[in-house]
A and B are shown apart, each in its own frame.
Chain A
Amino acid sequence: MSVMKRVSLIFRAKADKALDRMEDPRETLDYSYKQQVEMLTRVRRGVADVATSRKRVELQMTSLQKEITKRTNQAKTALEQGREDLARAALQARGQLETQYDDLQTQYTQLQEQEEKLTLASQRLDAKVQAFRTRKETIKATYTAAEAQTRINEAFSGISEDMGDVGLAIQRAEDKTAQMQARAGAIDELLASGALEDHVGGGADYIQAELDKLGATAGVDDQLEAMKREIANSAPKQLEANANGDGGGSASAAGTPAAQQPQAGDGL
Protein backbone atom coordinates (compact mmCIF):
# COMPACT_ATOMS: atom_id res chain seq x y z
CA MET A 1 0.00 0.00 0.00
CA SER A 2 1.07 3.52 -0.63
CA VAL A 3 2.85 5.68 1.89
CA MET A 4 0.24 8.45 1.95
CA LYS A 5 -2.61 6.00 2.42
CA ARG A 6 -0.87 4.12 5.18
CA VAL A 7 -0.10 7.30 7.09
CA SER A 8 -3.73 8.39 6.83
CA LEU A 9 -4.87 5.00 8.12
CA ILE A 10 -2.60 5.27 11.14
CA PHE A 11 -4.21 8.56 12.05
CA ARG A 12 -7.69 7.23 11.50
CA ALA A 13 -7.09 4.06 13.47
CA LYS A 14 -6.08 6.13 16.42
CA ALA A 15 -9.26 8.22 16.31
CA ASP A 16 -11.43 5.12 15.85
CA LYS A 17 -9.87 3.41 18.82
CA ALA A 18 -10.53 6.44 20.99
CA LEU A 19 -14.13 6.67 19.82
CA ASP A 20 -14.73 3.01 20.59
CA ARG A 21 -13.69 3.58 24.17
CA MET A 22 -16.14 6.40 24.75
CA GLU A 23 -19.44 5.26 26.16
CA ASP A 24 -21.38 8.48 26.05
CA PRO A 25 -20.89 10.31 22.72
CA ARG A 26 -21.53 13.69 24.31
CA GLU A 27 -18.81 13.04 26.82
CA THR A 28 -16.49 12.44 23.89
CA LEU A 29 -16.98 16.04 22.83
CA ASP A 30 -16.13 17.52 26.20
CA TYR A 31 -13.25 15.17 26.75
CA SER A 32 -11.80 15.93 23.34
CA TYR A 33 -12.21 19.65 23.86
CA LYS A 34 -10.28 19.46 27.11
CA GLN A 35 -7.48 17.62 25.33
CA GLN A 36 -7.46 20.23 22.59
CA VAL A 37 -7.04 23.07 25.05
CA GLU A 38 -4.13 21.22 26.65
CA MET A 39 -2.59 20.62 23.26
CA LEU A 40 -2.87 24.33 22.51
CA THR A 41 -0.96 25.13 25.68
CA ARG A 42 1.65 22.60 24.73
CA VAL A 43 2.16 23.94 21.22
CA ARG A 44 2.43 27.51 22.54
CA ARG A 45 5.05 26.39 25.03
CA GLY A 46 6.80 24.64 22.14
CA VAL A 47 6.94 27.91 20.21
CA ALA A 48 8.39 29.68 23.25
CA ASP A 49 11.03 26.95 23.74
CA VAL A 50 12.18 27.16 20.15
CA ALA A 51 12.35 30.95 20.44
CA THR A 52 14.52 30.65 23.56
CA SER A 53 16.83 28.27 21.77
CA ARG A 54 17.06 30.59 18.80
CA LYS A 55 17.94 33.54 21.04
CA ARG A 56 20.66 31.52 22.70
CA VAL A 57 22.22 30.68 19.35
CA GLU A 58 21.95 34.37 18.46
CA LEU A 59 23.94 35.34 21.59
CA GLN A 60 26.56 32.76 20.80
CA MET A 61 26.87 34.11 17.29
CA THR A 62 27.52 37.58 18.74
CA SER A 63 30.22 36.16 21.03
CA LEU A 64 31.86 34.31 18.19
CA GLN A 65 31.72 37.41 16.00
CA LYS A 66 33.60 39.32 18.71
CA GLU A 67 36.27 36.64 18.77
CA ILE A 68 36.52 36.76 15.00
CA THR A 69 36.99 40.55 15.08
CA LYS A 70 39.61 40.16 17.80
CA ARG A 71 41.58 37.68 15.69
CA THR A 72 41.36 39.98 12.66
CA ASN A 73 42.76 42.86 14.69
CA GLN A 74 45.48 40.65 16.08
CA ALA A 75 46.51 39.64 12.57
CA LYS A 76 46.68 43.30 11.51
CA THR A 77 48.69 44.33 14.57
CA ALA A 78 51.05 41.40 14.11
CA LEU A 79 51.68 42.32 10.47
CA GLU A 80 52.32 45.94 11.45
CA GLN A 81 54.93 44.69 13.90
CA GLY A 82 56.49 42.55 11.23
CA ARG A 83 55.43 39.30 12.88
CA GLU A 84 53.99 37.32 9.99
CA ASP A 85 54.09 34.13 12.06
CA LEU A 86 51.70 35.61 14.61
CA ALA A 87 49.48 37.05 11.89
CA ARG A 88 49.26 33.62 10.30
CA ALA A 89 48.35 31.99 13.62
CA ALA A 90 45.68 34.61 14.26
CA LEU A 91 44.14 34.04 10.82
CA GLN A 92 44.18 30.29 11.35
CA ALA A 93 42.36 30.76 14.64
CA ARG A 94 39.90 33.04 12.89
CA GLY A 95 39.28 30.38 10.25
CA GLN A 96 38.20 27.89 12.90
CA LEU A 97 35.96 30.43 14.55
CA GLU A 98 34.37 31.19 11.22
CA THR A 99 33.58 27.51 10.71
CA GLN A 100 31.84 27.49 14.10
CA TYR A 101 30.00 30.65 13.17
CA ASP A 102 28.77 29.22 9.87
CA ASP A 103 27.55 26.13 11.71
CA LEU A 104 25.61 28.30 14.15
CA GLN A 105 24.20 30.29 11.26
CA THR A 106 22.77 27.07 9.80
CA GLN A 107 21.30 26.10 13.15
CA TYR A 108 19.84 29.54 13.56
CA THR A 109 18.06 29.33 10.21
CA GLN A 110 16.69 25.89 11.09
CA LEU A 111 15.38 27.10 14.42
CA GLN A 112 13.79 30.10 12.75
CA GLU A 113 12.00 27.78 10.33
CA GLN A 114 10.83 25.55 13.18
CA GLU A 115 9.56 28.55 15.06
CA GLU A 116 7.61 29.82 12.06
CA LYS A 117 6.13 26.40 11.32
CA LEU A 118 5.12 25.81 14.90
CA THR A 119 3.62 29.29 15.17
CA LEU A 120 1.48 28.59 12.12
CA ALA A 121 0.52 25.16 13.47
CA SER A 122 -0.48 26.80 16.75
CA GLN A 123 -2.64 29.35 14.93
CA ARG A 124 -4.30 26.67 12.81
CA LEU A 125 -5.06 24.53 15.84
CA ASP A 126 -6.36 27.56 17.70
CA ALA A 127 -8.86 28.30 14.91
CA LYS A 128 -9.83 24.64 14.77
CA VAL A 129 -10.39 24.40 18.51
CA GLN A 130 -12.59 27.51 18.46
CA ALA A 131 -14.61 25.97 15.65
CA PHE A 132 -14.84 22.70 17.55
CA ARG A 133 -16.19 24.44 20.62
CA THR A 134 -19.00 25.98 18.60
CA ARG A 135 -19.70 22.70 16.84
CA LYS A 136 -19.75 20.83 20.13
CA GLU A 137 -22.44 23.09 21.59
CA THR A 138 -24.49 22.95 18.41
CA ILE A 139 -24.39 19.17 18.38
CA LYS A 140 -25.37 18.95 22.04
CA ALA A 141 -28.26 21.40 21.68
CA THR A 142 -29.72 20.39 18.37
CA TYR A 143 -29.53 16.68 17.88
CA THR A 144 -30.89 13.60 19.58
CA ALA A 145 -28.36 11.13 20.85
CA ALA A 146 -28.65 8.94 17.77
CA GLU A 147 -28.32 11.82 15.32
CA ALA A 148 -25.53 13.34 17.30
CA GLN A 149 -23.36 10.22 17.05
CA THR A 150 -22.50 10.67 13.38
CA ARG A 151 -21.73 14.34 13.80
CA ILE A 152 -19.66 13.71 16.88
CA ASN A 153 -17.67 11.07 15.06
CA GLU A 154 -17.02 13.46 12.20
CA ALA A 155 -15.90 16.30 14.42
CA PHE A 156 -13.87 14.06 16.69
CA SER A 157 -12.07 12.22 13.88
CA GLY A 158 -11.45 15.48 12.05
CA ILE A 159 -9.88 17.23 14.98
CA SER A 160 -8.02 14.09 16.05
CA GLU A 161 -6.07 14.31 12.83
CA ASP A 162 -5.14 17.90 13.62
CA MET A 163 -4.12 16.93 17.11
CA GLY A 164 -1.93 14.11 15.81
CA ASP A 165 -0.39 16.44 13.27
CA VAL A 166 0.40 19.15 15.81
CA GLY A 167 1.59 16.53 18.32
CA LEU A 168 4.12 15.25 15.78
CA ALA A 169 5.18 18.80 14.93
CA ILE A 170 5.82 19.57 18.60
CA GLN A 171 7.78 16.36 19.01
CA ARG A 172 9.97 17.27 16.04
CA ALA A 173 10.56 20.76 17.34
CA GLU A 174 11.44 19.39 20.79
CA ASP A 175 13.92 16.91 19.29
CA LYS A 176 15.51 19.65 17.24
CA THR A 177 15.75 22.02 20.19
CA ALA A 178 17.26 19.32 22.38
CA GLN A 179 19.94 18.60 19.79
CA MET A 180 20.74 22.27 19.42
CA GLN A 181 20.80 22.83 23.16
CA ALA A 182 23.36 20.09 23.60
CA ARG A 183 25.60 21.68 20.99
CA ALA A 184 24.94 25.19 22.23
CA GLY A 185 25.83 24.07 25.75
CA ALA A 186 29.16 22.76 24.52
CA ILE A 187 29.95 26.04 22.74
CA ASP A 188 28.87 28.07 25.78
CA GLU A 189 31.26 26.10 27.93
CA LEU A 190 34.07 26.58 25.47
CA LEU A 191 33.45 30.30 25.25
CA ALA A 192 33.15 30.67 29.02
CA SER A 193 36.28 28.72 29.91
CA GLY A 194 38.33 30.34 27.20
CA ALA A 195 39.04 26.83 25.98
CA LEU A 196 37.89 27.77 22.52
CA GLU A 197 40.50 30.51 22.48
CA ASP A 198 43.16 28.18 23.85
CA HIS A 199 42.24 25.44 21.47
CA VAL A 200 42.25 27.48 18.29
CA GLY A 201 45.13 29.69 19.35
CA GLY A 202 47.36 26.77 20.28
CA GLY A 203 47.99 28.10 23.81
CA ALA A 204 46.51 30.46 26.36
CA ASP A 205 46.02 33.00 23.58
CA TYR A 206 49.75 33.18 23.01
CA ILE A 207 49.12 35.44 20.02
CA GLN A 208 47.73 38.13 22.27
CA ALA A 209 50.50 37.57 24.80
CA GLU A 210 53.15 38.02 22.13
CA LEU A 211 51.44 41.10 20.75
CA ASP A 212 51.11 42.59 24.24
CA LYS A 213 54.83 42.04 24.76
CA LEU A 214 55.60 43.71 21.44
CA GLY A 215 53.22 46.53 22.31
CA ALA A 216 54.85 47.08 25.70
CA THR A 217 58.31 47.09 24.17
CA ALA A 218 57.25 49.51 21.47
CA GLY A 219 55.84 51.77 24.16
CA VAL A 220 59.13 51.78 26.07
CA ASP A 221 61.00 52.46 22.85
CA ASP A 222 58.77 55.42 22.07
CA GLN A 223 59.26 56.84 25.55
CA LEU A 224 62.99 56.41 25.25
CA GLU A 225 63.02 58.20 21.92
CA ALA A 226 60.96 61.02 23.33
CA MET A 227 63.27 61.40 26.34
CA LYS A 228 66.34 61.35 24.15
CA ARG A 229 64.89 64.04 21.93
CA GLU A 230 64.10 66.15 24.98
CA ILE A 231 67.62 65.79 26.31
CA ALA A 232 69.11 66.45 22.90
CA ASN A 233 67.11 69.62 22.48
CA SER A 234 67.97 71.01 25.89
CA ALA A 235 71.62 69.78 26.22
CA PRO A 236 74.92 70.58 24.41
CA LYS A 237 76.10 68.76 21.28
CA GLN A 238 78.03 65.88 22.93
CA LEU A 239 74.83 64.41 24.31
CA GLU A 240 73.08 64.68 20.98
CA ALA A 241 75.72 62.47 19.37
CA ASN A 242 75.39 59.93 22.17
CA ALA A 243 71.60 59.78 21.84
CA ASN A 244 71.84 59.17 18.09
CA GLY A 245 74.03 56.15 18.71
CA ASP A 246 71.53 54.62 21.12
CA GLY A 247 68.58 55.31 18.84
CA GLY A 248 70.26 53.30 16.07
CA GLY A 249 70.87 50.33 18.35
CA SER A 250 67.30 50.30 19.57
CA ALA A 251 65.83 50.31 16.06
CA SER A 252 67.92 47.37 14.86
CA ALA A 253 66.79 45.23 17.82
CA ALA A 254 63.10 46.08 17.42
CA GLY A 255 62.11 42.53 16.49
CA THR A 256 63.71 40.91 19.55
CA PRO A 257 62.27 42.41 22.71
CA ALA A 258 64.33 40.20 25.02
CA ALA A 259 67.61 41.44 23.60
CA GLN A 260 66.40 45.00 23.58
CA GLN A 261 65.54 45.31 27.23
CA PRO A 262 69.09 45.36 28.67
CA GLN A 263 70.17 47.71 25.88
CA ALA A 264 67.51 50.19 26.84
CA GLY A 265 68.71 49.96 30.44
CA ASP A 266 72.29 50.72 29.34
CA GLY A 267 71.09 53.78 27.48
CA LEU A 268 69.45 55.20 30.55
Chain B
Amino acid sequence: MIVRVLGEGQFRVDDDTAAKLTVLDKDLDAAVHADDEAAFKLALGAAVQLVRAAGQEVGAEEFVTADYILPFSDATVAEVRKLLADGTIHGDSLGLP
Protein backbone atom coordinates (compact mmCIF):
# COMPACT_ATOMS: atom_id res chain seq x y z
CA MET B 1 0.00 0.00 0.00
CA ILE B 2 1.15 3.55 -0.74
CA VAL B 3 0.91 6.17 1.99
CA ARG B 4 1.73 9.82 1.55
CA VAL B 5 2.73 12.01 4.44
CA LEU B 6 2.02 15.58 3.37
CA GLY B 7 5.27 17.49 3.11
CA GLU B 8 7.34 14.30 3.14
CA GLY B 9 6.38 12.33 0.03
CA GLN B 10 5.10 8.83 -0.62
CA PHE B 11 6.04 5.61 1.16
CA ARG B 12 5.31 1.98 0.36
CA VAL B 13 4.20 0.05 3.44
CA ASP B 14 3.57 -3.66 4.01
CA ASP B 15 0.24 -5.16 5.15
CA ASP B 16 1.33 -5.35 8.76
CA THR B 17 2.11 -1.64 8.84
CA ALA B 18 -1.08 -0.88 6.94
CA ALA B 19 -3.09 -2.70 9.62
CA LYS B 20 -1.41 -0.66 12.36
CA LEU B 21 -2.10 2.50 10.41
CA THR B 22 -5.77 1.62 10.12
CA VAL B 23 -6.00 1.45 13.91
CA LEU B 24 -4.27 4.83 14.25
CA ASP B 25 -6.52 6.24 11.56
CA LYS B 26 -9.55 5.46 13.74
CA ASP B 27 -7.92 7.41 16.57
CA LEU B 28 -7.31 10.28 14.18
CA ASP B 29 -10.91 10.24 13.07
CA ALA B 30 -12.18 10.16 16.66
CA ALA B 31 -9.86 13.02 17.62
CA VAL B 32 -11.04 15.15 14.71
CA HIS B 33 -14.67 14.48 15.61
CA ALA B 34 -14.09 15.26 19.28
CA ASP B 35 -11.92 18.27 18.45
CA ASP B 36 -9.32 16.73 20.74
CA GLU B 37 -6.03 18.36 19.80
CA ALA B 38 -3.91 16.32 22.23
CA ALA B 39 -5.28 12.97 21.04
CA PHE B 40 -4.92 14.08 17.43
CA LYS B 41 -1.30 15.09 17.93
CA LEU B 42 -0.58 11.76 19.58
CA ALA B 43 -2.20 9.62 16.87
CA LEU B 44 -0.74 11.68 14.03
CA GLY B 45 2.73 11.56 15.56
CA ALA B 46 2.53 7.78 15.95
CA ALA B 47 1.22 7.30 12.39
CA VAL B 48 3.89 9.52 10.82
CA GLN B 49 6.66 7.85 12.85
CA LEU B 50 5.39 4.44 11.78
CA VAL B 51 5.34 5.35 8.10
CA ARG B 52 8.79 6.93 8.27
CA ALA B 53 10.26 3.93 10.08
CA ALA B 54 8.52 1.04 8.33
CA GLY B 55 7.87 2.55 4.93
CA GLN B 56 10.02 2.50 1.83
CA GLU B 57 10.24 5.84 0.06
CA VAL B 58 8.71 5.81 -3.42
CA GLY B 59 11.21 6.96 -6.04
CA ALA B 60 10.80 10.05 -8.20
CA GLU B 61 10.48 8.01 -11.38
CA GLU B 62 7.45 6.13 -10.07
CA PHE B 63 4.05 7.74 -10.69
CA VAL B 64 1.45 6.35 -8.33
CA THR B 65 -1.38 7.73 -6.23
CA ALA B 66 -1.53 7.12 -2.50
CA ASP B 67 -4.17 4.91 -0.89
CA TYR B 68 -3.84 6.89 2.32
CA ILE B 69 -2.70 10.45 2.85
CA LEU B 70 -1.55 11.58 6.26
CA PRO B 71 -1.68 15.30 7.12
CA PHE B 72 1.50 17.32 7.73
CA SER B 73 3.29 15.95 10.78
CA ASP B 74 2.59 19.18 12.69
CA ALA B 75 -0.98 19.69 11.42
CA THR B 76 -3.76 20.77 13.75
CA VAL B 77 -7.33 19.49 14.01
CA ALA B 78 -8.57 22.80 12.60
CA GLU B 79 -6.34 22.44 9.55
CA VAL B 80 -7.55 18.91 8.81
CA ARG B 81 -11.17 19.88 9.41
CA LYS B 82 -10.79 22.68 6.90
CA LEU B 83 -9.26 20.38 4.29
CA LEU B 84 -11.98 17.77 4.80
CA ALA B 85 -14.78 20.30 4.95
CA ASP B 86 -14.23 22.19 1.73
CA GLY B 87 -12.55 19.33 -0.08
CA THR B 88 -10.23 21.66 -1.92
CA ILE B 89 -6.50 21.84 -1.81
CA HIS B 90 -5.47 25.35 -0.97
CA GLY B 91 -2.39 26.87 -2.46
CA ASP B 92 -2.65 24.61 -5.47
CA SER B 93 -4.16 27.10 -7.87
CA LEU B 94 -1.32 26.47 -10.30
CA GLY B 95 -1.14 22.75 -9.80
CA LEU B 96 -4.29 21.73 -11.55
CA PRO B 97 -6.70 23.41 -13.92
| Complex-state Cα separation, A8 to B64, whole angstroms | 12
Task: Say yes or no: is A90 at the interface (Cβ < 8 Å to chain B).
Answer: no
CB distance A35 to B28 under 8 Å? no
> Given the complex of chains A and B, what is the CA–CA distance between A266 and B70 in angstroms?
84
Q: Does A171 contact B (CB under 8 A)?
A: yes
The distance in angstroms between the C-alpha atoms of A212 and B45, with both chains bound, is 56
Contact in complex: B7, A39 (CB < 8 Å):
no
Instruction: Say yes or no for B15: interface residue by CB 8 A criterion.
Output: no
Mark A172-212 against chain B: 1 for CB-CB distance below 8 A, else 0: 10100000000000000000000000000000000000000
Number of B interface residues, CB 8 Å? Answer: 42
The count of residues in chain A whose C-beta lies closer than 8 Å to any C-beta of chain B is: 51
| Chain A residue nearest to B97 in the complex (CB) | A18
The answer on a CB contact under 8 Å between B25 and A172 is no
A261 to chain B, nearest CB (A): 63
A5 at the interface (CB under 8 A from B): yes
Given contacts A3-B29, A8-B4, A124-B60, contact A168 B94 (CB under 8 A): no
Contact residues in A for B67 (Cβ distance below 8 Å): 5, 8
**A255: interface (CB < 8 Å):** no
B96 shortest CB reach to chain A, Å: 4
- Tell me, yes or no, whether B6 is within 8 Å of chain A by CB: yes
A169 within 8 A of B: yes
By the criterion CB–CB under 8 Å, are B65 and A157 in contact? yes
Query: Is B26 part of the contact surface with A, judged by Cβ < 8 Å?
Result: yes
Contact present for B69 and A11 (CB under 8 Å): yes
Interface residues, chain A, CB within 8 Å of chain B? 2-8, 10-15, 17-18, 21, 31, 35, 38-39, 42, 117, 120-121, 124, 127-128, 130-132, 134-135, 154-155, 157-172, 174
Return 25 A-B CB contacts under 8 Å, by A number: A2-B68, A4-B68, A7-B6, A7-B84, A8-B4, A8-B65, A8-B67, A8-B68, A11-B65, A15-B96, A121-B7, A124-B60, A157-B63, A158-B62, A158-B65, A159-B63, A161-B4, A161-B10, A161-B65, A165-B4, A167-B89, A167-B94, A168-B72, A168-B89, A168-B92
